[in-house]
Copies of this chain bind each other. A is one copy, B any other.
Amino acid sequence: MATTFAHRMKEVRASDIRELLKITERPDVISMGGGLPAPELFPVDELVALTRDVLEQDGARALQYASTEGNADLRARIAALMQARQGIEITPAEILVTNGSQQGLDLTGKVFLDPGDVVLCESPTYVGAISALRVFEPRFVEVETDDEGMLPGDLERKLIAEARVKFIYVIPDFQNPSGRCWSLERRRRLLDLAARHGVVVVEDAPYAELRYSGEPVPSLKSMDAGGLVVYLGTFSKTFCPGLRIGWLAARREIHEKCVLVKQGADLHTSELSQRLIARFLARYDFAGRVEALRAVYRGRRDAMLRAIEREMPAGVRATRPEGGLFLWIELPPDVSARDVLPRALARNVAFVPGGSFYPNGGHENTLRLNFSNQTEERIGEGVGRLASALREVMAEAHGKAAADAPDVPLSRRAAS
């Protein structure tokens, strides 16, 4: 007997990234696939001490059912952190603690999206946002994007053309997958247009703390006079992902709805995990920890950029991110990253084909590389192996193309 699932399940597919993560657990594989932080930087000893303190001081409450909104102490500390580090004016009452910022996407989708509603997003955009939101059956309309962010002209055109836009989803700082950081001018234009059209902006900011070079640019939420921005933050990158602690910050009307749907979805986030992070923020040096992370990741980014410069064949373009965990590669238009993947895996190196990051498909000549989860040495080795797989595929494509097109060499650009 066949089971009848909901209509939304027709759209739900396994993510390339999650499936890849399983393959790449073998230690001989150099994975530039997932978005894993460096585990050698996790605060393991601190957590042993913090757990003992939290449990000995008030174990009964740390292990009991708790409020949906989140632990009051942690919410106050998050609000203070947003103020101190990003200049965002926010009250603890506007913070909702979530199971990683991924849950913020699920709650936002649930609260705003009816089938057929439109989500405007960068092109490409975060694959996990596509899978979080897709179950609510929106149409994703991709806005043209360059190194400074969405093109305001294209954004405005689509805001006018699409009657059912519910929100604009963006990752302004060191975007996943492209590594790009929006300019201040583009951020202002986005907020102007959103305000003019009365559309909410979802600002996904998992990498906001991870800048390695260049000057900080204010977050959208810090310039959000009208309360249009729903901000999603996380401790997965600055602390560790395994505790699953993120947050959503939004004005009261939106916050309340998100609390109600979180209540139905899982009652509340682990109270023990919340108290561990609140205690960490109280006792340890968050700024110092972030500085240490930046130093390591800066070195890894540079190692990857050097290796790309050194190893990659002509016709391959890479972004030059000022922060975050990722770098984005464009191959010649006739080369599919999905064809490269098996040859890369055969060489024990993994990446994520870029097509997954376009909700409406296409762009198969792109791929995403992660630089946070491997040592500089292994990054060099991994990029070398990937370049070798690429050369093999490109030689074949070139052989085929040579039969029916003139041989024009593609210009080489290691940075865009």
* 4 smallest beta-carbon distances between A and B, as pairs: A44-B59, A39-B60, A63-B242, A63-B240
Give Cα A268 to B36, complex, Å.
14
A62 is an interface residue with CB less than 8 A from chain B: yes
Complex contacts, A15 vs chain B, CB 8 Å: 263
When the two chains form their complex, are residues B110 and A6 in contact, meaning their CB atoms are under 8 A apart? yes
Complex contacts, A7 vs chain B, CB 8 Å: 114
Give Cα A91 to B60, complex, Å.
34
A260 is an interface residue with CB less than 8 A from chain B: yes
Give Cα A51 to B52, complex, Å.
8
How far does the Cβ of A346 sit from chain B's closest Cβ, in whole Å? Answer: 24
Complex contacts, A261 vs chain B, CB 8 Å: 9, 12, 135
A284 is an interface residue with CB less than 8 A from chain B: no
Give Cα A99 to B39, complex, Å.
23
List CB contacts (< 8 Å) of A80-112 with chain B.
Answer: 98-100, 102-103, 105-106, 110-112
How far does the Cβ of A62 sit from chain B's closest Cβ, in whole Å? Answer: 6
How far does the Cβ of A166 sit from chain B's closest Cβ, in whole Å? Answer: 7
How far does the Cβ of A265 sit from chain B's closest Cβ, in whole Å? Answer: 4
A289 is an interface residue with CB less than 8 A from chain B: no
Identify which of B66, B111, B133, B243 contacts A242 (C-beta below 8 A). B66
Identify which of B1, B6, B68 contacts A111 (C-beta below 8 A). B6
A184 is an interface residue with CB less than 8 A from chain B: no
- Residue numbers of A with Cβ under 8 A of B are 1, 3-9, 12-15, 18, 21-22, 34-37, 39-40, 42, 44, 47-48, 51-52, 55-56, 59-68, 98-100, 102-103, 105-106, 110-114, 117, 128, 131-136, 166, 198, 200, 226, 236, 240-244, 253-254, 257, 260-261, 263-273
When the two chains form their complex, are residues A135 and B264 in contact, meaning their CB atoms are under 8 A apart? yes
Complex contacts, A35 vs chain B, CB 8 Å: 65
Complex contacts, A111 vs chain B, CB 8 Å: 5-6, 9
When the two chains form their complex, are residues A12 and B260 in contact, meaning their CB atoms are under 8 A apart? yes
When the two chains form their complex, are residues A68 and B8 in contact, meaning their CB atoms are under 8 A apart? no
